[in-house]
Amino acid sequence: MYLKNSSYFSVQSIDEKLAYKKFVQSKIDAGLIIPNNFSKNLNKNLPTSLQVCIIGTDANAAKIISRYFEIFANSISTKINQKLYSNKNIDFSNLINITFKYNPTLNTTIFFMPGLIAMILIVISVVAVSLSFVKEKEMGTIEQLIISPITEFEYILSKILPYAILSLFEALALLIFAYLVFDVPFQGSLFDFIIVSIVYLICGLLMGLFISTISNAQQTAFLISALISLLPTFLLSGFVFKIDSMPKAIQILTNLTPAKFYISALRNIMIRGSSFKHFWLDFFYLVIFANIALIAVLYVLKKQKKNYFEN
């Protein structure tokens, strides 16, 4: 009753199998397991306890949740003493047993590292490509590419492929660095990590290429790149601030940044060890974003090529 009356909890009664599934999908933050013989043991004054399992990926949130469960334990301990033992002040300090899943030590580095990887990769990929293309504009070599027989898609591929390969090695280097230096666990599939990272890098590289097509100076391209890559990744991706605690309008706005879904996929892969079926929606969004960015770049390049020949 205490949990149901609290504004901090949304209580559902589900079986253990469904609870585990929701844990993996990050649809619930904590689970309270009441043993079958709990009431019977209390009546007989036998040792018993409630089991609480809390998602520990976000260490700060897990600490807050555990504190509320401790308050809950103190509340029901007092009621049990009053109703069953006539205020004999029997010790119920072990009435509740709290464990933290995926991050038993509540190490905050484990929660922030996927976001840090996402932020480094998006900044590098967007800025590098945007500056490269704009430099060709400033040097005047872009006209040679425009009149060359290659298609717009071939041009895009030639621009992003080298950076994609280099950025993928950077992603793997960051993963190894996180594992060796910060002791961040890697519970999932390396193949899943590589595939998701490739699609995310393509998103960033195409964003950089789009910025370069609408910019005429490296300073302008750099400022726009930093504005649309660094700030959204830091503020709107869930890297620092929990998305669920944001206003509804801002939550909708967070869907405009691919980093939100990449970070979600990374946390599933690295920390939870989840399979593809648990983060396929994040991957699907990244694919959609990459296709939209590709269409936008192709459109701008074709338009610029048409204007060049008309002039």
What are the CA-CA distances from residue 141 to residues 134, 147, 150, 214 (Å)?
A: 10, 11, 15, 16
Tokens of 43: 């009546």
Task: Report whether 213 contacts 299 (CB < 8 A).
Answer: no
| 148 in the same domain as 247 | yes
Which residue, 81, 101, 121, sits at the end of a domain? 101
- Do 275 and 134 fall into the same domain? yes
Q: Which two tokens stand for residue 102?
A: 């995926």
Q: Would you place residue 97 in the very low, low, confident or very high pLDDT band (cuts 50, 70, 90)? A: confident
CA atoms within 13 A on the CB side of 4: 3
In angstroms, rounded to a whole number, what is the distance separating the alpha carbons of residues 5 and 136? 64
- Cβ atoms of 54 and 238 within 8 Å: the answer is no
Task: State which of 14-23, 86-95, 262-271 shows the largest mean pLDDT.
Answer: 262-271
Residues 139 and 214 in one domain: yes
Q: Is the model more confident about 175 or about 92? A: 175
Does the pLDDT at position 232 exceed 90?
no
- % pLDDT > 70, the chain: 86
139 with 38, same domain: the answer is no
Does one domain contain both 279 and 161?
yes
pLDDT of amino acid 135: 77
Q: Are residues 134 and 244 in the same domain?
A: yes
Model pLDDT, residue 310: 64
Give the other-Cβ count within 10 Å of 63's Cβ. 14
pLDDT at 93 over 60: no
The number of domains in the chain is 2
What's the pLDDT score for residue 169? Answer: 93
Taking the C-alpha atoms of residue 58 and residue 109, their distance in angstroms, rounded to an integer, is 10
**101, 130, 145 - which closes a domain:** 101
Q: Does pLDDT of 202 surpass 90?
A: yes
pLDDT at 83: 65
26: region left, alpha or beta (phi > 0 left; psi from -120 to 50 alpha): left
Q: What are the C-alpha distances in Å from 183 to residues 46, 68, 114, 267, 283?
A: 41, 29, 13, 15, 26
Tokens, residue 175: 């993963």
Instruction: Name the band, by pLDDT with cuts 50, 70 and 90, for residue 64.
Output: confident
* HSE-up of residue 56 (Cα within 13 Å, Cβ side): 16
Residue 311 pLDDT level (bands cut at 50, 70, 90) = low
Say if residue 124 is in the same domain as residue 21.
Answer: no
- Domain boundary (101, 123, 158) is at 101
Residue-range definition of the domain harbouring residue 7 = 2-101
- Give residue-wise pLDDT tens across range 170-187: 999 999 999 998 888 898
Phi, psi dihedrals of residue 185, rounded to the nearest 5°: -70, 155
Quickly state the pLDDT bin for 303 (edges 50, 70, 90): confident
State the average pLDDT over residues 106-113.
85
CB 271 within 8 A of CB 114: yes
Do 52 and 131 lie in one domain? The reply is no
State phi, psi for 99 to the nearest 5 degrees. -125, 155
How many other C-beta atoms lie within 10 A of the C-beta of residue 138? 11
Return the residue matching tokens 């994609």: 164
Please indicate, yes or no, whether residues 63 and 205 belong to a single structural domain of this protein: no
Whether residue 302 sits in one domain with residue 259? yes
Same domain flag for 162 and 54: no
Residue 218: the pLDDT is: 83
pLDDT for position 87: 52
User: Are residues 127 and 50 both part of a single domain?
Assistant: no
* Distance in angstroms (rounded) separating the CA atoms of residues 175 and 188: 12
Is residue 95's pLDDT more than 90? no
